[in-house]
Amino acid sequence: MGRRRCWTGKRLRRICAELAQLDIVVSPNTVRRLLDELGYALHANSKSLSRGCSERDEQFCYIAEEKQQFLHRGLPIISVDTKKKELVGNFNNAGRVWSQTATPVNDHDFRSEGKGMAIPFGVYDPVRNRGMVFVGTSHDTPQFAAENIARWWRQRGQKDYPEADHLFILADSGGSNGARVRMWKWALQKQVADAFGLTITVSHFPTGASKWNPIEHRLFSEISKHWAGQPLDSYETILELIGATTTQTGLQVRSQLVRRGYPTKCKISDSQFKTIRLDPHAVLPRWNYTIFPTENRN
């Protein structure tokens, strides 16, 4: 019975019309019966194909081991990523809110009618359940990502971990903080490691596994649920909605606007890259590495 319900009258009549062009005259009921006998049914796309990754499980196990070592030593662990860019303006934002009347918004989301783009880059501390979201107005670049980590350390990290000299970063394998992005490593060296005398260990989640990055399901998803149905009509509104996001487990979030411009397509030379104090790990070195400060201040 479930299969029969899939074949709507409109679809059956369309098949009958196509058969009639071949001088085959049958009724919709006959078409339905024949399709059922042949085992045909209407199906939606099935997300069952995967590129797969033979080293995926190994990387997850390695990340878990690294996390345990940092937790045992009381060292900071952060999860970082850039949330989906948002067009700022009186545009529709999917979701519903309790109100006496619906909020009127523009019927089209033309970028030319917006006030700009909001680029939320998050830094989430899974141990303390604290997050900071830096809302950029320019471009999502490796320099932007690294400087936001530096902002987090300056404003929060070094206060929460005053004795720490080592930082563990969990990141996706793509984007501005991707595993293959040379500028990301260069920016971490200059803007975080050298600036604060911090040793930085980075582990990237395998391609296609970004949803396991803690920031995705413990911070970004909560922000999306909190501002659902509310037009993101200004940067001030976005900052307020992000900062007001809480959960029953005690999540606290701070937000900050970053108006600095970040040029795109910046590259570093081979000679510059060689100056990075980069130590690839023995286990899956393309996803796991440590960057040491040029001068050990500690």
> Does residue 246 or residue 296 have the better pLDDT?
246
Let me know: does 172 contact 180? Beta carbons within 8 Å. Answer: no
Where is 167: in which H helix or E strand?
A: strand 166-171
Q: Which tokens hold the place of 165?
A: 């000299």
Which residues are CB-contacts of 76 (< 8 A; sequence separation ≥ 6)? 70, 125, 127, 157, 160, 161, 164, 167, 168
Which domains does the chain show, CATH number per domain? 2-37 (no CATH), 56-93+111-291 (3.30.420)
When mean pLDDT is compared across 9-18, 75-84, 275-284, the lowest value belongs to: 9-18
Mean pLDDT of 81-88: 97
- Grouping H, G, I as helix, E, B as strand and the rest as coil, residue 94 is coil
pLDDT at 189: 98
Distance, in Å, from the CA atom of 280 to the CA atom of 200, rounded to the nearest integer, reads: 12
Q: Which residue type sits at 146?
A: A
- Grouping H, G, I as helix, E, B as strand and the rest as coil, residue 113 is helix
pLDDT at 265: 92
What are the residue ranges of helices labelled H in the chain? 2-6, 9-20, 28-37, 56-73, 142-152, 158-160, 182-188, 194-196, 214-215, 221-227, 235-243, 270-274
pLDDT at 1: 40
Mean pLDDT of 209-223: 96
Cα distances (angstroms) measured from residue 152 to each of 7, 32, 125, 157, 251: 56, 62, 10, 6, 16
Beta bridge pairs of residue 289? 202, 280
pLDDT of 50 above 60: no
Using the Cα atoms of residue 10, residue 14, residue 16 and residue 17 in order, give the sign of their dihedral.
Answer: positive
End-to-end CA distance of the chain: 72
Find the length of the chain.
298
Query: What's CA 252's distance to the chain center, in Å?
Result: 19
pLDDT at 65: 98
pTM score above 0.85: no
Phi, psi of 122 (to 5 degrees): -110, 145
Distance, in Å, from the CA atom of 191 to the CA atom of 216, rounded to the nearest integer, reads: 25
pLDDT at 297: 52
Cα distances (angstroms) measured from residue 263 to each of 251, 270, 295: 33, 20, 28
